Amino acid sequence: MKTLADLATALLEAHDGGPLVGPVAEELVPADLDVVYAVQNEIISQIGAVGGWKVAAGLGHPPLCSPIPAKRFFGSGDRIDAEHHRIFLAEIEVAVRLGADLPAGATIDDVEAAIASIHPAIELVGNPFVDRAATPRNLQLADLQSNGAVVVGNEVDRGITAALDTLAVVLELDGKAVHSVEKGASWTDTLTAIAWLATHAHQRGLPLRAGQVIITGARALLKLDGATDVAGILGDHGRVDCRL
């Protein structure tokens, strides 16, 4: 690999069953978030349309983020080839679907008005690296934050917004609850992060569009360790499932 474009190609191929990415030349390891996001943009330019974003709501400002390719979105109950796509970890998240475009400078009121629906979601994290533990963090962030796939469940009642900061979220693997939490980003945290993202995405030439899905940060999560059935439960509001 000699260029960032070569690095983007290698990461995409590794996520799609190709050779794992070994040690990367120091000059290709992103030195800062500007380069991280440049690599992300290059990956998107090679893989196709953006289907949504991930943004870490409530975890500092500015939040970390990444676009997610449209081809990596699935519906609840879908089957996903975890071995081919190097999936090793599942995260349960709260997702929103936009019903309108969000321009740069959008306010939290604009964001709330643009959100058409709220959903449970599973983010499946993939590992394209030979030695993940030895891989620099910025390189992992550049790899679309290691996104492998997103499974989006059915719409839930909007009343969930009042409970997000204390929402009971459970991850099930093969029918057993393996991780649960009762705290996370509030609705205000979520709207604030998406308002920031609207300007950030516009500046990167990848503006937020109607129909895109935004996942808002991991809540319950765990390595799969061979599990094939994954489910996420958002309190009494809804669940999402997939089979690997």
pLDDT digits (tens, 9 = 90+) for 128-186: 999 999 999 999 999 999 999 999 999 999 999 999 999 999 999 999 999 999 999 99
Q: Looking at residue 244, what is its pLDDT? A: 97
Please report which confidence band the pLDDT of residue 60 belongs to, taking 50, 70 and 90 as the band edges: confident
Bridge partners (DSSP) of residue 87 are 126
Beta bridge partners of 215: 54, 95
- Per-residue pLDDT tens digits for 83-112: 999 999 999 999 999 999 999 999 999 999
Q: Which domains does the chain have, with CATH numbers?
A: 4-243 (3.90.850.10)
Q: What is the model's pLDDT at position 16?
A: 97
Asked if 62 contacts 201 with a C-beta cutoff of 8 angstroms, the reply is no
Whether pTM exceeds 0.85: yes
Task: Give CA separation, 75 vs 21, 67, 100, 171, in Å.
Answer: 29, 18, 21, 17
Residue 40, pLDDT above cutoff 90:
yes
Count other Cβ atoms within 10 Å, centred on residue 186.
Answer: 18
For the chain, what is the mean pLDDT?
97
Which pLDDT does position 1 carry in this prediction?
82
Sign of the C-alpha dihedral, residues 89, 152, 49, 185? negative
Task: Report the share of the chain in percent with pLDDT over 90.
Answer: 98
224 pLDDT band (50/70/90 cuts)? very high
Please give the pLDDT value at position 18.
97
Residue spans of alpha helices (H) in 18-88: 33-47
